[in-house]
Structure formats: structure tokens, C-alpha cells
């Protein structure tokens, strides 16, 4: 695995915030297998089971809160990371209605703290900030949003992530980019990533469709599908991680023109409605039962929201690897292996993903 991503991660000190969460735990695992020195900084995992603890990984795990700047600073002084992947966040829309202040403080001030500490840390060369496709002002139109489109957000989660984008852009322009002004105090390169919904094994978050299905099937219950006809772009978690790692590679290699905002999403034929996803999962897991229920009209939820990923494809040469049916199959297979065989197959799925990426001639997978 060492020769992937131009071998930049081999022996590199990497800090992953949010490593106890769904995406962060997969990213930390992949980075460790690329022979990076990985430190994770997060709150403790909230679900039982959770992917991070199941991996039983030997990465250096630190428990802490990104809202505490002093605590973060100590981590940077001691660990001296060269690149930071910032994933820690209150990551769900519905809880953001229940606890908006926590969402705003973690996602806005938490992001500002992480970037500020990167700014004063002499070791940091690159920062990859993870936001979301929901950072765009959703006009419910049928076209994909481009990186130049207007930011916004109706619910507190989306708004907090739009703010995280603005904070990132402000730091980049005021302190980091090595362009026009003389007051730039740092050569750190910062990029932000706006990826859409991801699925994969090891997610037990509340109020997400795949974990909801899994929780119901293991209890032999029928799952209620809240928005059966809602269209969502579906992507395996490894797709977005390959994009973050590619971008991290460019930044570590000092490519300034990549220090900007990026969309990463699936191809248009990966955009299925929720009911089709459940039916496709059922083919691989016949015990799944579901019924359609009325959407809870009390909370506003976005309808159609897709991304235009032309820039990622043309400039970064990133491309999706698994199609939507492979994505659902791998996801279902992960949970079946876990519940039927007590096996955690994350590493073997990363290897399958790499093999397929090589066949598809993905740029990052070429030696
Ligand atoms: N899962 C998705 O479909 C999806 C889609 C788009 C963007 N994202 C973004 O990707 C990132 C990771 O999402 P996820 O699905 O893994 O979420 P998750 O809820 O599984 O994990 C969130 C992580 O952040 C940590 N965290 C939260 N608040 C913190 C705080 N104040 N201090 C320290 N750590 C804190 C948690 O401990 C956990 O490790 C988030 O930034 C999220 O907004 C996720």
C-alpha cells in the first residue's frame, strides 16, 4: 500500500480530528496502512458498537474537545503534525435542531481553533478541512452546485458548515496563501472538501438511513422510511477519503493551486431515491423489512441537492471507483460479516477498493 498517493504519507505525521467517528475511523485506518504516524484527536465515541473501537487500531488516540484551543495547542506542540485532516464536527442535521449552539460551537469555533493552531504551529504544512455539500444555499434546483456557487444553510448543521467554509477561506486569504500580500505569515496550504452523503460499514449514527436499517434488521423489526422518494447522491465512504488523501498529497507536495475548495460526489447514475437503496440492500440481506412513512413535517429537510464535480475530475483527476450498486453491496456485506460472523472487514474492503481503483486506473492508485 505504501506506494499509493505518491508515497507522501509514508513516515508522515498526520493528525486526524474526529477519528472516533465514522469517516475519521476509516481515514485513520487507511493512513496507518499507508505507514503514516497517525494521531487522532476527538471526543469519545458515542455509539456502542462503534467502528473506531472495533478496529482495535494502534494509532495514537487522544480524547479532547476542539472547542478548547489550549488543549489543541498542546497536542500540536507534542505531536508536531505535518498535515491535519479536520473531520471533527457535530455531523447530523436533526440533532442540530435540538442543540444548535453545540453545533455552531463545534463546527464554527472548533474549526477556527483547529486552523488557528495550525497557523501558529511550525510543523504544519497542509490542512484539509472537511465540510459538506450542504454548505451551499440550496435552491432546490436540478443542477449540481459548483464551488463558485453561493454558500448558505437553512438548518443549523448546514449553516455551521457554510460558516466553516467562510472561516477556512478567510484564514487562507489572510494568512496562508503565498500570493499577493506581504503580511502572509505562513506557507501552510489549506483546502476544504464538500462531499455529500457517504455510506459504508461501521456507521451507527442516529437518524441516518443505513444505520437505521441495520438497527432494525438486527432487532427483526421493520424500518420506517421517512422520505422514500427523496433523491440523494450515494457514495462509499472510501470514495470521499480517496479524494481527501489525493488533495492532501497535492498540498504536501506544495501545489498551491490546489489550496482551495473542492466538491467530491458520485456520478449522476449514483443518485437514487431512498426506497431504491433499501430495496437494493434487501437483495443482499433478505431479512430487511421496511415500510414507507410520512415525512416528519416539523423539521425542514433539504430535497434535491447534487454537486458538480467537474473541477475534481479535470484538475485533480479524481474519479469515483465503486458504482452505487457496488457501494450498497459492500456496505451490506460489511454489516452482515459483523453480525453473522463477528468479523470486521474494513481493511479487506480497503484492499478491494484499491484493487478496483487500480483496474479503473485511478490516478492515486498507480505506482
Ligand atoms: N457521514 C456523512 O455522510 C458526511 C457527509 C458530508 C460531510 N460529512 C462530514 O464529515 C465529517 C465526519 O463525519 P462523520 O459521518 O464521521 O461523523 P461522526 O458523527 O461519525 O463523527 C464525528 C466525529 O467528530 C468528533 N467530534 C464532534 N464534536 C467534537 C468536538 N467538539 N471536539 C472533538 N471532537 C468532536 C466525534 O467525537 C467524532 O469523532 C464531519 O465533519 C461531517 O460534517 C459527513
328 near 272, Cβ under 8 Å?
Answer: no
CA atoms within 13 A on the CB side of 186: 22
- pLDDT for the residue 227: 82
Q: Say if ligand 1 is within 6 A of residue 241 CB.
A: no
297 three-class SS: coil
Determine the distance separating the centroid of ligand 1 and the alpha carbon of 60, expressed in angstroms.
18
Q: Compute, in angstroms, the gap from residue 28 CA to the centroid of ligand 1.
A: 13
> Where does the chain have alpha helices with state H?
22-33, 51-55, 69-79, 93-98, 100-104, 110-120, 156-171, 209-218, 237-252, 274-284, 310-311, 324-341, 346-359
**pLDDT score recorded for residue 183:** 56
pLDDT band at 298 (very low <50, low <70, confident <90, very high): low
Q: Is 130 in the pocket of ligand 1 (CB under 6 A)?
A: yes
Q: Report the residue among 59, 91, 241 best suited for mutation to probe ligand 1: largest number of ligand atoms under 8 A from its CB.
A: 91
For ligand 1, atom 23: residue with the closest CA: 18
With a 6 A CB cut-off, is 91 part of the ligand 1 pocket? yes
Q: Whose CA is nearest to atom 30 of ligand 1?
A: 65
110 close to ligand 1 (CB < 6 Angstrom): yes
Mean pLDDT, rounded, of the chain: 93
pLDDT at 116: 97
Q: Is residue 172 predicted with pLDDT exceeding 80?
A: yes
For residue 42, the ligand 1 atom closest to its alpha carbon is 34
For residues 193 and 206, give the distance between their C-alpha atoms in angstroms, rounded to a whole number: 23
| Residue with the three cell numbers 488543549 | 71
Instruction: Name the closest-CA residue to atom 1, ligand 1.
Output: 198
Is residue 35 within a helix (H) or strand (E), and if so which, with residue range? Answer: none
Helix (H, G, I), strand (E, B) or coil at 138: coil
pLDDT for 1 beyond 90: no
In this predicted structure, which of 122-131, 151-160, 296-305 has the lowest mean pLDDT? 296-305
pLDDT score recorded for residue 174: 94
Predicted confidence at residue 207, as pLDDT, reads 85
Whether residue 65 has its Cβ less than 6 Å from ligand 1 = yes
- In percent, the amount of the chain with pLDDT more than 90 equals 84
Higher pLDDT, 230 or 84: 84
Which of ligand 1's atoms lies nearest the C-alpha of 20?
39
- pLDDT of 295 reads 62
pLDDT for residue 213: 96
- pLDDT > 70 in the chain, percent: 95
- Whether 247 has a pLDDT exceeding 70, the answer reads yes
What would the mean pLDDT of 225-244 be, rounded to a whole number? Answer: 90
How many distinct helices (H) and strands (E) make up the chain?
A: 13, 13
Cβ 135 vs Cβ 155: under 8 Å: no
Residue 179 has pLDDT above 70, yes or no: no
Rg of the chain over Cα atoms, rounded to whole angstroms, equals: 19
Per-residue pLDDT tens digits for 13-45? 999 999 999 999 999 999 999 999 999 999 999
Q: How far apart are CA 305 and CA 145, in angstroms?
A: 8
Write down the pLDDT at residue 229: 85
Which residue out of 87, 160, 165, 327 has the highest number of ligand 1 atoms within 8 Å of its CB and is therefore the one to mutate?
A: 87
Residue ranges of the domains in the chain?
12-293+304-365
User: What does the pLDDT read at residue 135?
Assistant: 97
Domain at 12-293+304-365: CATH architecture: 3-Layer(aba) Sandwich (3.40)
pTM over 0.85: yes
**268 or 143: which carries more pLDDT confidence?**
143
Distance 208 CA to ligand 1 centre (A): 13
In the predicted structure, residue 58 carries a pLDDT above the cut 90: no
Q: Average pLDDT in the 297-308 region?
A: 74
Q: What is the pLDDT of residue 140?
A: 85
What's the CA gap between 137 and 285, in Å, rounded? 37
Question: Would you state the pLDDT for residue 184?
Answer: 60
Nearest to 284 by CA among 346, 210, 195: 210
pLDDT at 147 over 70: yes
106 lines ligand 1 (CB under 6 A): yes
C-alpha cell at 328: 450498497
Tens of pLDDT, residues 252-293: 999 999 999 999 999 877 778 889 999 999 999 999 999 988
Query: Ligand 1 centre from 127 Cα, in Å?
Result: 16
Amino acid at each position: 500500500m505504501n506506494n499509493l498517493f505518491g508515497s507522501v504519507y509514508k513516515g508522515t505525521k498526520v493528525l486526524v480530528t474526529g477519528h472516533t467517528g465514522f469517516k475519521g475511523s476509516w481515514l485513520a485506518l487507511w493512513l496507518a496502512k499507508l505507514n503514516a504516524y497517525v494521531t487522532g484527536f476527538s471526543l469519545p465515541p458515542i455509539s456502542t458498537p462503534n467502528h473506531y473501537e472495533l478496529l482495535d487500531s494502534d494509532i495514537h488516540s487522544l480524547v479532547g474537545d476542539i472547542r478548547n484551543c489550549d488543549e489543541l495547542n498542546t497536542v500540536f506542540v507534542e505531536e508536531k503534525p505535518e498535515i491535519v485532516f479536520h473531520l471533527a464536527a457535530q455531523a447530523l442535521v436533526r440533532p442540530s435542531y435540538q442543540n444548535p449552539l453545540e453545533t455552531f460551537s463545534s463546527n464554527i469555533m472548533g474549526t477556527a481553533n483547529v486552523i488557528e493552531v495550525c497557523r501558529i504551529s511550525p510543523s504544519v504544512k497542509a490542512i484539509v478541512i472537511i465540510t459538506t455539500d450542504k454548505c451551499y444555499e440550496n435552491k432546490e434546483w436540478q443542477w449540481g452546485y459548483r464551488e463558485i456557487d453561493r454558500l448558505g444553510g437553512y438548518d443549523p448543521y448546514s449553516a455551521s458548515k457554510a460558516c466553516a467554509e467562510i472561516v477556512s477561506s478567510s484564514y487562507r486569504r489572510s494568512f496562508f496563501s503565498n500570493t499577493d500580500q506581504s503580511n502572509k505569515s505562513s506557507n501552510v496550504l489549506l483546502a476544504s472538501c464538500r462531499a455529500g452523503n457517504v455510506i459504508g460499514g461501521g456507521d451507527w449514527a442516529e437518524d441516518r438511513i443505513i444505520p437505521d436499517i441495520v438497527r432494525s434488521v438486527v432487532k427483526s423489526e421493520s424500518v420506517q422510511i421517512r422520505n422514500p422518494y427523496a433523491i440523494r447522491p450515494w457514495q462509499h465512504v472510501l470514495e470521499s477519503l480517496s479524494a481527501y488523501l489525493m488533495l492532501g498529497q497535492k498540498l504536501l507536495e506544495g501545489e498551491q493551486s490546489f489550496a482551495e475548495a473542492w466538491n467530491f460526489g458520485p456520478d449522476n447514475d449514483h443518485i437514487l431515491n431512498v426506497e431504491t437503496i433499501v430495496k437494493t440492500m434487501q437483495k443482499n440481506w433478505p431479512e430487511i423489512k421496511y415500510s414507507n412513512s410520512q415525512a416528519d413535517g416539523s423539521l425542514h429537510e433539504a430535497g434535491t441537492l447534487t454537486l458538480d464535480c467537474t473541477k475534481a475530475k479535470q484538475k485533480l483527476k479524481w474519479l469515483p471507483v465503486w458504482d452505487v450498486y457496488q457501494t450498497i453491496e459492500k456496505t451490506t456485506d460489511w454489516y452482515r460479516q459483523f453480525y453473522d460472523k463477528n468479523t470486521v472487514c474494513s481493511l479487506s474492503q480497503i484492499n478491494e477498493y484499491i484493487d478496483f481503483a487500480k483496474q479503473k486506473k485511478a490516478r492515486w492508485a498507480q505506482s
